[in-house]
Amino acid sequence: MSFQPYARAETSDLAPWDRACAQIVAAGQRLDQRGWVPATAGNISVRLPDGRIAITRSGGHKGFLTPASVMEVGLSGAAVIAGDRPSAETLLHTQLYAHDRSIGAVLHGHSVAATVLSAMSPDADIVFAGYEVQKVFAGQTTHDAQVTLKLFDNDQDIARLATRVEPFLDTMPAGYLIRGHGVYVWGADMFQALARLEGLEFLLACALERRKLEAAEARA
């Protein structure tokens, strides 16, 4: 685990905006290393203590971000500086910040497991049960409980997608999945958001492996 120093100690002496940028750059590198942000996929944001929201600009590879790749948006998702172009899915980030004041970081990626599993799942959610890693999610103190991951159909109209997500925001401790697209995960800070994303991606990878094994057994 190497992301904790980036998220906490190593950036603690920076000015708040620079610290947010450093966390976003480090998170982008980490997501890229894991193969969760292919091409220009994904977006990353942080809410500063003063309420400003720092988010990745539209396009650009998340493995090669610099502080110049980060811009400020308001709670409505609009750029604070005219002419800045935020990620197309910015509203899905700011929706979370507007809904819950305790949220300090949001991550979105397009992993193979998230994409394949959600595309193959006709149901409205995927249920995980019995995995030790479930404890990384809010409200989960034991592996005995189950985690329900909500699935939403993909939509290029992000405002319409946000409207469909809104009623479930308080009931998605593990984040949510957009079918054939990717995951949204959040936390009180970047450290927690990264830990939850890793936990969720682990669960998705396990579920995908199980499906492959079950399919192989059924053929045998």
CA-based nearest residue to 55, from 23, 11, 8, 30: 23
**Binding-site size, Zn ion (CB under 5 A):** 1
Q: Which is nearer to Zn ion, 16 or 63 (CB)?
A: 63
- Nearest distance from C-beta of residue 89 to Zn ion, angstroms: 5
Q: Which residue lies nearer to Zn ion by CB, 28 or 182?
A: 182
What's the closest the beta carbon of residue 114 comes to Zn ion, in angstroms? 10
Both structure tokens of 197: 């994303």
Cβ(193)–Cβ(108) under 8 Å?
Answer: no
Q: What is the 3-state secondary structure (H, E, C) of 56-111?
A: EECCCCHHHCCHHHEEEECCCCCECCCCCCECCCHHHHHHHHHHCCCCCEEEEECC
Stretch that binds Zn ion, among 6-14, 66-74, 120-128, 178-186 (CB under 5 A): 178-186
- Assess contact for 3 and 26: CB atoms under 8 A: yes
Residue (161 or 203) nearer to Zn ion, CB: 161
Using the rule CB under 5 A, give the single segment among 114-122, 157-165, 176-184, 197-205 that binds Zn ion: 176-184
C-beta of 182 vs 187, nearer to Zn ion: 182
Q: Which of the ranges 19-27, 73-81, 146-154, 182-190 carries the binding residues for Zn ion, by CB under 5 A?
A: 182-190
- The span from the CA of 112 to the CA of 92, in Å, is 21
Q: Indicate the pairing of strand 43-47 with strand 53-56.
A: antiparallel
Minimum Å gap between C-beta 37 and Zn ion is 9
Choose the stretch contacting Zn ion; rule: CB under 5 A; options: 61-69, 92-100, 168-176, 177-185. Answer: 177-185
Question: Minimum distance from CB of 151 to Zn ion (Å)?
Answer: 15
Question: Which residues, 79 to 138, sit near Zn ion by CB under 5 A?
Answer: none
Contact 172, 185 (CB under 8 A): no
Nearer to Zn ion, 16 or 60 (CB): 60
CB of 203 to Zn ion, least distance (A): 19
Q: CA-CA distance, 177 to 136, in Å (whole number)? A: 17
Provide the binding-site residues for Zn ion, judged by CB under 5 A. 182
